[in-house]
Chains A and B, each alone.
Chain A
Amino acid sequence: MTYYEEPFDGFSIIEYKDFELKSPSFFVLGLPDAGLVGVIAAQHLVKALKAEEVGGIESYRYFPPLAVIHRGTPKPPIRMFVKDNLLIMVPEVAIPPAAVYPLSYMIIDYARKHGVNYLVSIVGIAVPNRMEIEKPKVYWLASTQKAEEAVKDAGIERFEEGYLVGPYAVILKESAKRRVNNIVLLVESFMEFPDPQAAAEALSVLSKIVNIEVDTKPLLEEAETIRLMARDLMKRTAKTLAQMQKGYEYQMPIMYA
């Protein structure tokens, strides 16, 4: 089944099919984070766009020795799908803290190799009063001027002050360093409960940026079932987030200037 496999510091990128992304191309990252916002958004994107599975990411060093079985076929713990100008990453496991740096570097290298124009990170930013919030707000961050240009007309505010913890933080910093365009969409969410509503808000903004129609109605209609199904991944992710000191995101940086 493997068409191409490339090792990278404890990981392997596997491609089953050759693919070419239309331009401008976006690599949507749905890594497990607060409220599993990225995972739920990426999964819905794959379903709504009927994206084609083209590969995945495996690691015998960082991931537990597991095979994800779908329709009787073993899949890698992180799967990748393509539709037109979108490459979409959908993990099925929590990312262990030790894997954060190498995985982040690998994602950036892979995006550059495929000539991806923009990396898009969908991040849940935990807010303590999430239960009282009817419509979660979405904020943006950008690693470059070009990424900023791509997001600034989406009608959302920039995330001005605070901490970002986890793989998305590393991807943002490293993208800025290497002049890779990384758009970060940060959505108010629960920390430890799956949050499909936050994922729907992120997708509404994403659709404006990438200029595609994504119907989020089915996601909201199935929200209760998604919350039920995502409990196990959320439980494991919450543990890894605690190990990564995700609680920092509740704090304000001490620097004034």
Chain B
Amino acid sequence: MVEEIRRIAKQMIRDVAEDIRRALEEVEEALAMVRPLWTPDGCLEPLYTVYEYPDHYEVVVDMPRADMRTLSVEVRGNKLTLRCRLGSEVRFERWGTIQRHISFREYRMTLTLPEDADAEHMEVKSRGTMLVIRIPRR
């Protein structure tokens, strides 16, 4: 009887934890849709996709007008940070709601890597202004 109660309690805790995880994911997703892909200090966040394969992850990043010679990809802990300057400053005379000129000079993004990502052995390749980061799984 005690064992049964303990089992049910553990299951309930697991269910609650799963519900919280899903709710956090939804909040994160909603915030991502509201958050702009640029910052007023002249940084753009590139579009990217993470593909999951049995033995590795592949992060594909789209960075139009980037100067790929200035690319830097660093990993600290489970955070991957990418920076790359634009080939020439991109200037918009009236940008969206701020209604004043804005210049973009750099792409910048930070990505949380999955726990089994082996960043020490990652490979970075580019094709034009698109980037592929291949990260083996442990």
A residues adjacent to B (C-beta < 8 A): 131, 190-194, 223-225, 227-228, 231-232, 234-236, 239
Can you pick out 6 interface pairs between chain A and chain B where the beta carbons lie within 8 Å of each other? A131-B60, A131-B132, A193-B130, A224-B65, A228-B64, A235-B33
Question: How many pairs, one residue from A and one from B, have CB atoms within 8 Å of each other in the complex?
Answer: 41
In whole Å, how far is A134's beta carbon from the nearest beta carbon of chain B?
A: 11
Closest to A190 in B: B62
B47 touching A235 by the CB < 8 A rule? yes
Asked whether any CB of chain A lies closer than 8 Å to the CB of B127, the reply is yes
Residues of B contacting A224 in the complex (Cβ-Cβ under 8 angstroms): 64-65, 129
Query: In the complex, A232→B34 CA distance in Å?
Result: 10
Query: In the complex, A174→B49 CA distance in Å?
Result: 33
Enumerate B46-92 residues with CB–CB distance to A below 8 Å: 46-47, 49, 60, 62, 64-65, 90
Enumerate B110-138 residues with CB–CB distance to A below 8 Å: 127, 129-130, 132
- Give the number of chain B interface residues (Cβ < 8 Å): 17
Residues of B contacting A223 in the complex (Cβ-Cβ under 8 angstroms): 64
Query: In the complex, A225→B65 CA distance in Å?
Result: 7
Asked whether any CB of chain A lies closer than 8 Å to the CB of B44, the reply is yes
Residues of B contacting A234 in the complex (Cβ-Cβ under 8 angstroms): 47
| 4 closest residue pairs by CB, A with B | A227-B64, A224-B64, A193-B62, A228-B64
**Known pairs A131-B127, A192-B49, A193-B62; A228 contacts B44 (CB<8 A):** yes
With beta carbons under 8 angstroms apart, the residue of A193, A194, A228 that contacts B90 is: A228
Residues of B contacting A235 in the complex (Cβ-Cβ under 8 angstroms): 33, 37, 47
Known contacts A224-B129, A239-B33; 11 further A-B pairs (Cβ under 8 A):
A131-B130, A191-B49, A224-B64, A227-B62, A228-B44, A228-B65, A231-B44, A232-B36, A235-B37, A236-B33, A239-B29
